[in-house]
Each structure stands twice: as structure tokens, then as C-alpha cells.
């Protein structure tokens, strides 16, 4: 009897697994599409292709797309759980969960055989040395995570803490500086500025506010001049005020329209950088002496709405000269350097590379911290 029960249970389990795939293939065929499962057998079974297939399969899943909104709604209603990417803070503030997890997980991770700390120092030093061999200087711009600057908006328990919540980040930054690498200390700057009324980060979003971004651009410009690596030029860009409303990325990660409608979109007041010679928004110059590489903190306002109003444009405004940029969402630890290696012609005429990466990438950077040979 027990053996029959286990057999039936196994059959039901297999049936449940197979039903989803069969249903998905039938729906795709009915829509005149080739069943996506066939793609699995048409490409090399390597890690990259399998990961891409898995992600695409998850996005296409009919049952998943139909049931997930209901399950997320039930999950929030019963458990107040906003999913695996978002955390609700206080007074309408939202935080990116991996960024918060970075602050509380043991670091370096015990699950990894090689210390992330050693990889980071080695990768950055190697990149610096490769640039120096070409006569190019490296300036790091580690960007604080939102929870490191405003932990009190996540939980009241941090208000009793006297030490910064980013102690592990401070240690690695100190070690980077001890290795002779120049960096912009936004952590100290933001800690001083966070007591002011103007917020440095968006309430519903992962990223810095326009004020926090402009502060970083101004501070970077001042540091470049102080180091005497480049000179401020003579191109006088103008600023054009632009206002628009949008929901933040963390709020949208919850993927609950009914929940989203409980909040008003954030009003963003930007200043777009305009080239007075033609009246058009700022454009990069591949032959500039300055190259900026980084992640979505460079993308916001710059390539997103309203455009030409982010860190890259404002650095050009402060330096009075156009710059060059490479932006890779979530890939500032390694992927952006791989892209630079493929576009090594962008290093021509360069005197400075500014490398921005968000704090959590010290532990969670895509592809880790690899040494990448510049071609």
C-alpha cells in the first residue's frame, strides 16, 4: 500500500511538472509560434546559453504570468512580503533587497573558496596598472547603496547605532586606498549631507536623486582638478530645467499594480545639459580626455528620461568639456571592463578613466571581480 502511494505521488508530481511545459507548447503552437522548448536543442549547452534559456522560459511562462500577480498579492496581504527584490521602509521609502542583504551578510562570503576581498584589490590594481602603462590615470567612484546612507528610513533600530552600517565597505575602501588607488569618498560626503532636507536618494528607487547625482559630479570634478590630471576646458554648457513624474524601479519590482496605485509617482526635477552651439542635449565625444564607466547610477537621467541630465552630462558641465562613457546596468564590477576591452579604441587620447560601481557589487557584482586584459 505504501509503495503504491509513493508511486501515485511520484506520478502526480511528474504530471504537474509536465503539464506546464505541454500547456506552454500548445499555446505557442496555437499562436503560430515554434514552441520555445525546441530552442534548448538548437544551441550549445553551455552555461551562458542555459542561463539565457532559463530566464527567457521564465518570462514566457503562461501559467507563471497568470498566477504570479495573484500569488504576489496574497503574499503581501497575508505576510506583508513585497517579494525577493523590494523592501518597504518608513514613510513611503523603498529599498532594493540585495543592497540591504549586502550589509548584513557575512563578508567575505564563507561559501566562496577565494576571498572576494583579494579579488577586488587584485582586479582594480591590475586595471589601474594597465591604464598607467598607457599614460592614463584611474579614479574610482564607489557609490553608496541607499540603505548605507538612510538606514533610519529602513528600520528604527539603526537610530541607536553609533557606527555606520557600511563598516565592511569602509574596510575595503581603506584597503583600496592603501594600495595607492585614488577614489572619491562619497560615503563620508553623503553622511555629512544626509542631515540636510534635500534627499540624496529617491524614495521609491534604488538610485540617487538629482541632488545626490549633481553633488557626486561636482565633487568628482573638483577632485580631478585638484589631482591635476586634467584641466577644466572652456565649453560653457547651459542648463535646462525639466520636471516629470515616474514610479521608482523598486516599487515597480513588486509587480503589483494594485499596490503601486496606493502611491503617487515621484516628481523629479532635473537639469538637462544643453550644448549652446546647436541647442541640442549634451552628446559624448569619443576623443575626450575623460572616460566614465559604470552602472545604472550613470544611466538614470542620462539615458533614461529626460536624457542628458545624469552624472555624465553634469560632469561634462562641471569640466566644461564633453566626456566619453560606457554604461552597463548591474555589470560595473567586470562586464563594463569587458566591454571596454572590446572597444579599446575609446582609450585613445584618454588621460583619466573614472570607474563608478555601486557598493553591493563588492559582493554581488555580475561575474565577480575578474582581471580583464585591455587590448
What global pTM score does this model have? Answer: 0.81
pLDDT of residue 255: 79
Instruction: Look at 215 and 11; give whichever has higher pLDDT.
Output: 215
At 111, the pLDDT band (50, 70, 90 cuts) reads: very low
pLDDT of 307 higher than 90: yes
Q: Look at residue 308 and tell me whether its pLDDT is greater than 50.
A: yes
Q: Which pLDDT tens digit goes with each residue over 187-244? A: 999 999 988 779 999 999 999 999 999 999 999 999 999 999 999 999 999 999 999 9
Give the residue carrying C-alpha cell 552602472: 295
With 90 as the cut, is the pLDDT of residue 150 above it? yes
Mean pLDDT on 103-111: 68
For position 165, what pLDDT does the model report?
Answer: 86
Query: Per-residue pLDDT tens for 168-191?
Result: 999 999 999 999 999 999 999 999
- pLDDT bin (cut points 50, 70, 90) of residue 79 is very low
The reported pLDDT for the residue numbered 114 is 46
Amino acid at each position: 500500500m505504501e509503495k503504491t502511494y509513493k508511486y501515485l505521488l511520484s506520478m502526480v508530481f511528474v504530471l504537474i511538472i509536465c503539464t506546464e511545459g505541454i500547456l506552454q507548447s500548445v499555446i505557442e503552437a496555437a499562436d503560430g509560434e515554434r514552441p520555445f522548448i525546441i530552442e534548448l536543442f538548437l544551441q550549445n549547452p553551455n552555461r551562458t546559453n542555459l542561463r539565457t534559456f532559463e530566464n527567457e522560459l521564465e518570462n514566457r511562462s503562461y501559467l507563471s504570468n497568470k498566477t504570479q500577480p495573484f500569488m504576489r498579492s496574497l503574499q503581501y496581504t497575508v505576510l506583508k512580503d513585497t517579494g525577493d527584490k523590494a523592501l518597504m521602509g518608513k514613510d513611503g521609502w523603498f529599498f532594493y533587497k540585495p543592497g540591504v542583504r549586502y550589509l548584513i551578510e557575512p563578508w567575505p562570503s564563507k561559501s566562496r573558496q577565494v576571498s572576494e576581498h583579494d579579488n577586488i584589490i587584485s582586479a582594480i590594481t591590475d586595471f589601474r596598472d594597465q591604464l598607467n602603462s598607457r599614460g592614463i590615470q584611474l579614479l574610482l567612484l564607489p557609490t553608496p547603496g541607499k540603505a548605507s546612507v538612510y538606514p533610519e528610513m529602513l528600520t528604527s533600530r539603526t537610530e541607536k547605532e553609533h557606527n555606520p552600517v557600511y563598516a565592511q565597505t569602509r574596510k575595503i575602501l581603506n584597503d583600496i586606498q592603501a594600495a595607492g588607488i585614488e577614489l572619491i569618498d562619497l560615503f563620508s560626503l553623503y553622511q555629512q549631507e544626509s542631515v540636510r532636507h534635500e534627499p540624496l536618494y529617491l524614495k521609491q528607487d534604488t538610485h540617487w536623486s538629482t541632488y545626490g547625482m549633481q553633488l557626486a559630479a561636482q565633487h568628482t570634478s573638483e577632485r580631478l582638478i585638484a589631482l591635476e590630471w586634467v584641466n577644466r576646458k572652456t565649453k560653457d554648457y547651459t542648463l535646462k530645467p525639466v520636471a516629470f513624474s515616474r514610479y521608482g524601479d523598486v516599487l515597480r519590482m513588486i509587480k503589483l499594480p494594485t499596490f503601486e496605485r496606493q502611491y503617487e509617482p515621484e516628481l523629479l526635477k532635473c537639469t538637462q545639459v544643453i550644448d549652446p552651439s546647436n541647442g541640442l542635449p549634451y552628446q559624448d565625444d569619443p576623443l575626450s580626455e575623460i572616460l566614465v564607466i559604470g552602472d545604472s547610477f550613470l544611466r538614470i537621467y542620462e539615458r533614461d528620461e529626460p536624457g542628458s541630465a545624469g552624472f555624465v552630462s553634469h560632469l561634462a558641465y562641471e569640466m566644461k568639456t564633453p566626456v566619453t562613457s560606457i554604461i552597463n546596468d548591474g555589470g560595473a564590477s567586470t562586464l563594463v571592463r569587458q566591454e571596454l576591452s572590446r572597444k579599446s579604441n575609446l582609450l585613445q587620447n584618454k588621460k583619466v578613466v573614472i570607474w563608478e560601481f555601486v557598493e553591493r557589487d563588492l559582493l554581488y557584482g555580475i561575474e565577480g571581480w575578474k582581471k580583464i586584459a585591455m587590448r
